[in-house]
Amino acid sequence: MKSFCIKTNNIKIKNYLLKNLELLNFEDIYYIDRKFKIYNNVIVHYAGKNEPEFLNILSNIISNCILLFFEPILLMRRINLNYFYFDNFEKKIIQENCYNYITSGEDDTLKFRKDEIWSNTLKYISENKAMILEGFVNFRLENYMNTIDDIVDYSVSKYVVEKEYTEFINLLKLYIDSKEAHSKLVHLIYLNEESILLDDNKNIIPFTDDIINAKYLSDISFSSNDYALNSLLTLLPERIEVHVIGYEDEFINTLKLIFGNRIFICKDCNICRTYRILTNTK
């Protein structure tokens, strides 16, 4: 007979373990709940002959338990330890970024995290008769903890970038609000992530040296969108008609945030239709 004892002083964890053991469709498993000193003990006995499968099942239950109950605590602990200089509001945003990242399904971190916990758990319960669950999490999962650090670092970087982006947008909005408009209307043709500017007579507005040297948007990259934004911040038109020949993306959303009610999105006018024909775009 193989027996293993899981020790915890968390009632919710104890109940989770008992519930999952109860739901098992696997013969010859018996379990009891006993309180000794400070720990609640979930003691699992297996009297069957397929011990590898029993260990696999028990490792899976413990791994899911760790992800559910300990991971939020570990994430916040790492934030407080490594990024203590953020205030509580900022830490909350970083924590939400962590949750969004690990639940997005955009990468294989969930599989990696669970596999890492599962393999360490399987090895431990194969070689030992009991574990203090909190101690196991804190001292036996080094690679998993490194992954938690990576998730927190990524989430902090994301927060810093978004914060700088918001500050940048607000700064440009203040600049626009403090200046008088220099022109009535500018058309912006947006196609395949590239921008073309037209004046109110529908003539192309060239990117002059003054506009290029302004570089409100970036000192590093020089795409047509950089120059277009620089031009709009120089010309400060009362109305900006954005003719989207395709789809709106982050650059269009940035223009909306900066220029507010000066922006008007158009997808079906003479200019739109002309550029669709010229570019063979549907």
pLDDT in tens, 169-189: 999 999 999 998 889 999 999
Q: Per-residue pLDDT tens for 89-105?
A: 999 999 999 999 988 76
Q: What is the pLDDT of residues 112-153, one digit of tens each?
A: 899 999 999 999 999 999 999 999 999 999 999 999 999 999
pLDDT category at 168 given cuts 50, 70, 90 is very high
Q: pLDDT for 51-78, tens place per residue?
A: 999 999 999 999 999 999 999 999 999 9
Give the per-residue pLDDT at 106: 61
| pLDDT at residue number 241 | 96
Q: Please name which of 128, 138, 233, 223 lies closest in space to residue 178, comparing C-alpha atoms.
A: 233
Q: What is residue 51's predicted lDDT score, i.e. its pLDDT?
A: 96
Average pLDDT in the 27-44 region? 94
Question: Which domains does the chain possess?
Answer: 51-172 (no CATH), 181-279 (3.30.420)
CB neighbours of 117 closer than 8 A, spacing ≥ 6? 62, 63, 66, 67, 141, 144
Please state, for a pLDDT cut of 70, what percent of the chain lies above it. 93
Residue/partner pairs of 194-201 with CB below 8 Å, 24 or more apart: 194/223, 194/224, 194/225, 195/224, 195/225, 195/227, 195/228, 195/251, 196/224, 196/228, 197/228, 197/231, 197/232, 198/271
Give the chain's largest Cα–Cα span: 88
Least confident residue range of 13-17, 19-23, 158-162, 191-195 = 191-195
pLDDT score of 247: 87
Q: What pTM does this model have? A: 0.82
pLDDT class for 218, splitting at 50, 70, 90? very low
Question: According to the model, what pLDDT value does residue 277 have?
Answer: 87
Among all chains, which residue has been given the structure tokens 């003479």? 270
